[in-house]
Amino acid sequence: MGEVAALRMCDVIDANLKVKSEIRLTREQTKGGHARTVFLNAKLQAELQLYTDTLRTRNSEWAFFPTQKFPRRGFTANTLTQHMNGIYRQCQIEGATSHSGRRSFITNLASKGIGVRVLMSLAGHKNISTTQAYIDVNDDMKRRAVELI
């Protein structure tokens, strides 16, 4: 959540107020302290564009996800985590945490045959074992695996 909370307008939208296809995070914005690029698919770009179009201000240095109280700096990582946990509770999704989206992202890509090194890079992990811990194995994945024999 820290990376999402750290996003500024200039990270996400270009000079024409269009959502970028790639977001470059500085080392200060990442949990691991390593700069990296986040790639956005067309569907996420479109959703973020709809959100961007509703914003009252598009000051390039302001937070991309502003709060009413602190629109310039936006959420802290902790506040955004609490907010997401509240959304999960409202939706009655039991057991979900701030890492659930990351786990789903990695697991879904793994089930589509994306290699663990690509997953590691997309997640911003430095160790493959960290990425592997996020991959949930399900019966569908096992069925497809045995069909390859």
Q: What pLDDT, in 10s, does the model give residues 51-90?
A: 999 998 888 999 999 988 887 888 999 999 999 999 999 9
Whether 40 has a pLDDT exceeding 90, the answer reads yes
Other beta carbons less than 10 A from residue 133's beta carbon: 12
Q: For residues 64 and 7, is the Cβ–Cβ distance under 8 A?
A: yes
Q: What pLDDT, in 10s, does the model give residues 85-117?
A: 999 999 999 999 888 999 999 999 999 989 999
Domain range annotation of the chain:
1-96, 99-149
Q: For residues 18 and 49, is the Cβ–Cβ distance under 8 A?
A: yes
